[in-house]
Structure 1
Amino acid sequence: MSENLEPVPFLDLAGVNGALREEYERAFSGVLDHGKFIGGPEVAAFEAEFADYCSAREAIGVGNGTDALELILAGLGIGPGDEVIVPANTFIATAEAVCYVGARPRFVDVLPDTLLLDPDAADAAVNKNTAAIIGVHLFGQMVDVDRVGAVAAKHGVAFVEDAAQAHGARFAGQRAGSVGVAAGFSFYPGKNLGALGDAGAVVTQDAELAGKIRRLADHGRSADSRFHHDLRGRNSRMDSVIAGALSAKLRGLDAANAGRVRAWEQYVAQLPAGATPVARHPKAEAVYHLGVVQVENREQVCKTLTEAGIGWGLHYPVPCHLDAAYGDFRESLPVAEAAAERILSLPMSPTLDSAQVARVCNVLRDATRGAPA
C-alpha cells in the first residue's frame, strides 16, 4: 500500500458517532440523574419518535433485532406445526427467529438482479402449514411489497417485514415498517440507525399486537399488574441510555442516508465492468446499508482490496439453507447459491467521500481486469 494513501474503512463508525458525542453525553447524564436505566422516559420518547418516523402506530423497544422478529412471530401465535417462508439470502437471524418459536423455516430463492425475496417463489412455496412470509429488506432496499403483500393476502398469511437493514427506506412511497403486519428492526451499531450497543424494535399498526409483544418482552406481565404473568414471556427490554442515544441519531438519519445514496451513485458511475452492482427496483428508494456488487474471482479481488488498505465484507457467502445448523431444511435454490460465490460489499458510510469512492473503484478496476463483465 502506498504510504500517501489513507486506508478506506468498510464502515466509519468513529466518524458517524463522533459528531454526536455531546448529545450522547447529555443523554447519559440525564439517565444518571433519574436513575431509571431500563424502560426510563427516554425509551417511551424514542418509541414514539421511531413509530412516527416509520409511519406506524406503535413501536416497542427490545433487546436486539433477532428478538424483534421472534417476538413478532410469538405475538402472532406462530409456533410448532407452522411454516414461515424466508429468503435464503439473509442474515441467519431471520431463520433463527423462526426456529426459536418452534416453527419451520421454508427457504425460497431470490431475484437475480436485486437478490431480494422472489415473490413468485414465495407464492409457489405456500402450503397448508404456511403461517407467514418474512420479506427481508436487504442491503437497504425494501422487497417488492406490492407483490409480496399480494401473495400473503391471496393465501391469508401474515406478511412480516425484516427491516434490520432498511431504516428509512421506501417502496412506492411507503416506509419500511409501515406495510406488513409488523416489522422487526435492528439497531446493531453498524446499522443505518445504529445504537451504542445492541438493541432493536418492533413496529406495527396493530395496537393489540403491540400490547401483546410489549408484555411478552417484559416477562409476560399482565397489563394490570406487574406481579402477575398471564403470558410465558421473556426479557427483551431497551436500556434508557441506548434509547436516548438513538433519539439523538434519529434526528439526522435522513441526512445520513442521503450521504449513503450519494456514495452509491458515485460508485455506480465509476465501477469497472467486472464489478456488477446489485440492482434497485424502480419503485424503491434504497438507503444503502451496504454497497453490494458481484465479481468473479472474489478471493483475489478481496486480497487486492486488503493490500490497498480498503475494507470489505461478505453479505452473505453461505445461504441460510446451506449452513450446517439448517441442513434439515435444505432446498435447491440456484440464484442464491450462485450469488453467494460472487457478492462483495464495498465500503459504505454516510461519511464516505468522492475521493474514497474513486480510489475503491480504481483498485477494483485493477483487480477485475480481464474478468468477464
Structure 2
Amino acid sequence: MPSASVMAEEVTQQREPGAPYPKDNPTDPELTSLRRPPPKVTIVTAAGIVFLSVFFLLKLNPDRRFAGAGGDRQQRTVADIVADKVEEDSLVAVAGEPLMAHAIRTGTQKNSLGMRVVPLRGSSEKVWVVLPGDGWEDPTKGPYVGRLRKLDRLPFADTIRQFVAAHPRPVFAPASAVRAGFATGKVATVSGDEAIVRDADKVGFDVIDPDAATVVCTYNERHQNVQACAGALAQAGIETKGQPRDTDGQAYFDVAMPGAVATVQTKLEAASLWSTRVDPVTRHYETTWGALKGSAPAGFTVNGTTLPDATLDLVGLYVAKSIPSDAYAVIIGENPKDYWYVLPVTIVVALIGLLFAWALVRAVKRDLLPTRA
C-alpha cells in the first residue's frame, strides 16, 4: 500500500489546466502540435498579377498573330497598303521605289547604327520601309519583304514624326503643277505624292540664262596662259566680260550676248579652238510660296524678274510634311519563324492569369463577402 507521502507527490506532479509551465520545461506540447496556417493570397496581389497577365497578353498578341502567319508572303502593291487592303502583322512583299533622299536614320540604342526609315514613292508618306542602318550590309532591293505594322506601334514613331515636322525636305514639281496649285496650296510632285504648301514655305529653282555663257580655255602649246586664251577669243570675235578666272591648267571667261551658248560655240568652231568649250550659266532663284503664287500668267515673278514657265524644268518646294496617323511600315528582315517562342510564352502567361483570377475570386469571397452563420 503506497504511503501518503507518495500519493501527495503524484498529486503535485499533475498539472492543472492553465497552470504555467516550470522554467526547466518551457515547451507547451499543445502549442507545438498546432499546424501553421497556409499563406493567403491577398486581393491586391491576385488583382495585380491578373492585370499584368492581361497586359502582357495584349502586348504579345501582335507577335502571336505574326508568328501564325506562316512563311507564305503576300505580293502586295503600295496602293493596296494605302487603301488598307492588307492585314496588319502579315508577311508582305511590296514592289516600290524608296525615296532615299528622304531617308531618316533612327534607333532605340545610342551605341548602335540604328535603322533607316524611308517612304515609298507614291504613298504620300503613308508607307515606309525600315531598312538596316549598317552601310556594309548587302543592299536591300525590291520587292521589299518584311512584316507590315502600323508605324505608331514602333518605338521610334514619335521621333520620326518630330523630325519630319521640324525639318522641311525638298520636293520637286513641274512648273505646270506649281501653277495649278496656286489656288489650293496642293501641288502634285514628280514622286506621285501631293505636297501641301504654306505661304511661308521656301521655293527655289534653277534657270539657264539664255544670254550668258562661260568659256573654258584649256592650256596647251598654243594657249599657255590666260593672256594667250584671251587673245585667241578676241581674234575669234568673242567679247568677254569682267576679269577671267585662272585655275590650274584652265581659264574661265564670262560672255553675255543673245543666244550665248550657240553663238559662242559657232565662233569657236570657226576659229578651230578645239581645246576651248562653252558651258551654259545657271541662275538660282529663291522666294516664298506666298510671293510666288502672286505671279502673273506670263511667268513666275521672283524679286521683280519674270521668268516664263517654259524656262523652268523643276521647282523645288521646301515643305514640312506630316506623317498620316494611319501610316504603315514594312520591317525588312522580320520572319514569322523568328517568333516561334511567342505561343509557348502566351500559354504560360494565360495559365498564370487564370490561376490568379481563381485566387482573386476566392480572396474576394473570403475577405469582402459576409460569412454565413
Confirm or deny a common fold (TM above 0.5): no
- Largest Rg, 1 or 2: 2
Structure 1 or 2: more helix by fraction: 1
TM-score, normalisation: structure 2: 0.21
